[in-house]
Structures are given as structure tokens and as C-alpha cells.
Amino acid sequence: MNRLECPFCGPRELEEFVFHKTLPEAGASEYAAVYERVNRIDDSLEHWQHLRGCRAWLRVRRNPSTGEVHEVELLGGGRS
Amino acid sequence: MDNTPQRYSAWALLRARLAGPGYWRSLWSGAKLKDGYDVVVVGAGGHGLATAYHLARDHGIKRVAVLERRLVGYGNVGRNTTIVRSNYLLPQNHYFYEDALRRWERLSSVLNYNVMYSPRGVLDLALSDGDMVDLARRGNAMRLAGIDAELFDRAAVLKFAPELAASGPRRFDIVGGLVQRRGGTVRHDAVAWGYARAATALGVDIIEDCEVTGVQSAGGIATGVETTRGYVKANRIVFAVAGHTGAIGRMLGIPLPIETHLLQAMVTEPIKPLVSTVLVYVHPHGEVYVTQSDRGGVVMGGFLDGFPSYTREGRWYRLEDVVQSAVGLLPQIAGLRILRHWAGTNDMTMDGSFIIDRIGHDNVFVNGGWCYGGFKTIPASGAACAAFVATGTAPDLIRAHGLARFKTGHLLDERGGGPFPVRQ
């Protein structure tokens, strides 16, 4: 995992992006959303920001064991 | 055949000389896996071995096994930057870390194994007046707890660590520092070897190449562990799997306040003695610590890579950050070449402090969530965790470190970063 594909800027160096947090599981309680992690080894849904680029907020689905990025989409565009 | 490792002494050396080659027995190998144990400790790293050692020594529990997926000391105990210190801010933390530091001071004689504790001092640097205020606050908190801390002005810093006085381009000048003289470094591999040997001498079975794949239970009580070498009965189970505690939560089906992040370290080619102490600089956006190993390499480490990962592949830009920060402190090392560089997985908790508690069942314990500060606590963690497992009650030193703190709001957020593992 050396790059992320920003919906506006295209593939950019990972250094330009900042990881913000891991997103809660579907149906998680408010407590679980803040404090609990399932720690899946093959799938992680996260908020990132293209901070040193267009500053867009992104939802990223990737595999934390291989670094493979499955999906990058704009936060607020598409699924909520 | 007696498998107990011999004690080291001048007499033992003499006997070994007279006996010729083959006199020394191996330090820990040779134990056979039995059907069942009073306590099964999962993970032969520093914390697991220390826990097993204290269970056998302090609590008289003789049937103890340590199961290790790979080899003794192959995990984070052999991948850290070997720094020990107790300069923490929060009382729940600094008493515990101070207990660890007091144990480090005596550990070589306690284990009868030289762990090369080197009290060369830990010097936290201030590069601005604001930094000085922070360091003074932390130093005062430590002194109130009876822990040694001295606040230095610029001249005193340069006297304590003359290598910082080198002329050279320095973007931010040194304003002062906070020193803990008893802090320093310990030979990390020797800690694993020393505990493994001492535990073996007390009858603990250390079983390598034996991965735990599940826990079996009946009637709400865990009865044993499934391993790659078959089922092992256990009255009590302790997980001490630094960096993989999240995986234990997944295996047990229990979500934990832990994420797995990467931390990098690196070492340069060996040079003559230069760095006389442990240099640390922490700022809101990163961190750097620099020591020199006994072999002469300049060891450097820094901040987390910044996102959850199990890959052990460090990011190049973080390596660059760390090296730039180190060169910022010591311009004279700019020409050195990096010899090795590696990344380790860290259990990052939601408040940056560790967790020792029951998990899932009354007789299953977890010793984890050490973030990137697990090495320095090994002796205290082993003693406290063993007392918890043996008596069923958490000792005072770790009473605040249970999982309940996340529900009750009594977080131990040393850095004040909020519930974000990446910011701890």
C-alpha cells in the first residue's frame, strides 16, 4: 500500500493522506463505535483525509494484512 | 536426564573448564508438552515468560507451560529499542513503571543472567519554552511520586550530553530537558533468554513451535486450549501476545479497545561511542528517540506509521521523519548509513495505557495493549500479572488497568489524545 486513489486527484502518494479512524461495525452501540474494535485481519473500513492534497474526506475499505485497497469513496457522496 | 540449566558463578565456570565441551545444558529447550497444566501462558515473549517465572517463583504454581507459536523472543521483545524509564505523568502509570524500573535495577542478580541494564539516563529535550513547561509538569508529577527527575537548563543539558553541543546546522536550538538518571537501556534478547532460563529452572515447560488456535470451555469456564500440537487442558489461561492481542479478541469473539498499528525502528552502521544517554524529543506531530547500542550502532525510533496494519512493512516517509528528527538533534550523524530498519506490530489501546484483566471467562486473562511501551514494563508486568492470575485479585499497581475503565470513563490517557489509538 503506497498510494490511495483520491476521487478528485487520482492516485497519489500515501504520504498525502491522513488516517482518521476505524469505522464501527454495522449496528454497533454508541459505546462500541468509540471503544471497541473487531480487528478483522482482512477487512477494514476507515475514514481518511486527503489532507496534503484536495482535503477531501474519504471512506476507505482495505485489507490491513496485505495493504490492498478495495474501495475509496468520497465521504457524504453515496452511502451515508 | 536433568534438563535444569546450571546457575552461573565463578565456580560454575571453573567446573565447566574442567569438564570440557558439552558441560553447559541448553537454557530452556527440551520440555515435553503435557496433557494439562495449572496455568497455560500463551506467548513466550517478555511478558509471557516473566508471568510464568513469577507464577512459579512467587506463587508456588509448578505446572506452568508457556506455548509459543514460533521461538522464544522472536516477537516484540526482540524488536524494540531497549529503552527503560519510568517518567510517566499519571499516578496509575508512574507507580507501575517505577516498580518495573526498580526491578530492572536488580534483575541481573535475580535471574542470575546478565541483562546488561545500563542506567545511562533518559533525556527528554525541550526545543521551545512551551516544551519546558510540559517537561516541568511531568517532572513535578514524578518527583511528587518519589521518582527521580531533574529539570535541566540548556547549559546543564549540554554538560550531561556533550554530544548535543556539536556545532552544526540546528534548526531549533535546545532550551532544556528533563532527565531521569536511572533510566537507560537493557539488552532486550537477554531479557527473554534470562526469563526463559530462570522459568525453566523452576520447572516451567516452554514449548516452542506450538500455536494456540482456540479456547475450549464448558459451563462458562475455560477448560483448555486447542493448539497445533493438540488439545492442552488448563485451569487458567493467560494471553501475553504483544502486538496480536486484537487477534486474541477476534479468536474469542470479544471486541477489544485495541487496534494494531506499526512502529518502526532503525539502526545505523557501528561507530565509536557518541550518544552517551537516551535522547528523546516528543512533539504533537511525532517523536524521536536516539540511543547507541553496545555494538556502536545508533538506534532510532519514532512515531506510529499512522494507520492499522498487520503487514510489518514500515512506510518510507515515516523512516524519513524519524531520521530527519534524529539529525535535527544530532547533526553529526547525518552521514551515517542505515544498516537495518524494521517495523513491529503494536497493540494500540484507546487511551494509550495497557490492559491486564480477565477476558471472556473468569479463568482467562489478557496481558496486552502495551502500545509501544511494553518492553520497559516486563518485570513489573510479570509480577503483577502472576499475582492477578494466582490470587484472582488484581494487585493495586494494575487495579486501574482493567477493561472496565473504558466503560466507566476512568481512562488513563497519558497523552491526552482522546479515544483514537493512532494518536496515543
Cell numbers given for B83: 529503552
Is the CATH number of domain B35-79+188-257+351-423 3.50.50.60?
Answer: yes
Phi, psi of B9 (to 5 degrees): -165, 175
Side-chain-side CA neighbours of B243 within 13 Å: the count stands at 23
The CATH code that applies to domain A3-74 is 3.30.2270.10
| Residue contact A34–B313, C-beta within 8 A | no
Among B residues 343-402, those touching chain A with beta carbons less than 8 Å apart: 350
Residue A80 has pLDDT above 50, yes or no: no
CB of A13 closer than 8 Å to CB of A5: no
CA nearest B262 in A: which residue? A64
Q: Which letter does DSSP use for residue B4 in this model? A: P
Find out whether B286 and B317 touch, Cβ atoms under 8 Å.
Answer: no
Q: Which three cell numbers stand for residue B128?
A: 521551545
Element spanning B380, H or E: helix B378-391
The pLDDT of residue B172? 86
8 A C-beta contact, residue B177 and residue B184: no
Quote the pTM value. Answer: 0.94
Cβ–Cβ gap B256/A39 under 8 Å: yes
3-state secondary structure of B315: coil
Quote the minimal CA–CA distance from A13 to chain B in Å.
10
The alpha carbon dihedral of B397, B402, B408, B414 has a sign of: positive
Q: Would you kindly state where each structural domain of chain B is located, as residue ranges?
A: 35-79+188-257+351-423, 119-182+259-349
Task: Count CB neighbours of B383 within 10 A.
Answer: 23
Query: How does residue A78 score in pLDDT terms, banded at 50, 70 and 90?
Result: low
Contact B178, B123 (CB under 8 A): yes
**What does the domain layout of chain A look like in residue ranges?**
3-74
- pLDDT reported for residue B387: 98
Domain B119-182+259-349 is in which class? alpha beta
Round to whole Å and give the CA distance between B55 and B203: 11
Q: Which member of A32, A39, A66 has the closest CB to residue B259?
A: A39
Q: Residue A53 has which C-alpha cell?
A: 492534497
Total CB pairs under 8 A between chain A and B: 67
For residue B372, which of B301, B324, B282 has the smallest C-alpha distance? B301
Nearest to B255 among A21, A38, A48 (CB): A38
User: What DSSP assignment string belongs to B281-324?
Assistant: EEETTEEEEEEE-TTSEEEEEEEEEEEE-SS----HHHHHHHHH
Are B418 and B134 in contact by the 8 Å Cβ rule? The answer is no
Q: Chain A closest CA to B316's CA: distance in Å?
A: 9
First to last CA, chain B: 50
Grid coordinates given for B417: 489524545
- CA B114/CA B93 separation, integer angstroms: 27
A18 CB neighbours in chain B (<8 A) are 306
Exposed/middle/buried for residue B60 (C-beta within 10 Å: 0-12, 13-18, 19+): exposed
pLDDT at B179: 97
Q: Nearest C-alpha of chain A: how many angstroms from B21?
A: 46
Chain A interface, mutation test: which of B244, B248, B310, B353, most A Cβ atoms within 10 Å? B310
Buried b (16+ CB within 10 A) or exposed e, A19-58: bbbbebeeeeeeeeebbbbbbbeeebbbebbbeeeeebeb
Q: What are the pLDDT tens digits along chain B (424 aa)?
A: 567 888 999 999 999 999 999 899 989 988 999 999 999 999 999 999 999 999 999 999 989 999 999 999 999 999 999 999 999 999 999 999 999 999 999 999 999 999 999 999 999 999 999 999 999 999 999 999 999 999 999 999 999 999 998 776 678 889 999 999 999 999 999 999 999 999 999 999 999 999 999 999 999 899 999 999 999 999 999 999 988 999 999 999 999 999 999 999 999 999 999 999 999 999 877 899 999 999 999 999 998 999 999 988 889 999 999 999 999 999 999 999 999 999 999 999 999 999 999 999 999 999 999 998 899 999 999 999 999 999 999 999 999 999 999 999 999 998 888 888 888 8
Task: Kindly tell me the sign of the dihedral angle through the C-alpha atoms of B68, B69, B72, B73.
Answer: negative
Helix, strand and coil in chain B, % to nearest 5 = 35, 30, 40
Distance between CA atoms of residues A24 and A45, nearest Å: 8
Scan for cell 533518559, then name that residue: B122
- Round to whole Å and give the CA distance between B336 and B264: 18
Q: What span, in angstroms and rounded, lies between the C-alpha atoms of B85 and B124?
A: 11
User: Could you give the 3-state DSSP secondary structure of residue B333?
Assistant: helix
- ipTM entry: 0.93
CB contact under 8 A, A67 and B247: no
Interchain proximity B307–A19, CB inside 8 Å: yes
* Chain A residue with minimum CA distance to B247: A39
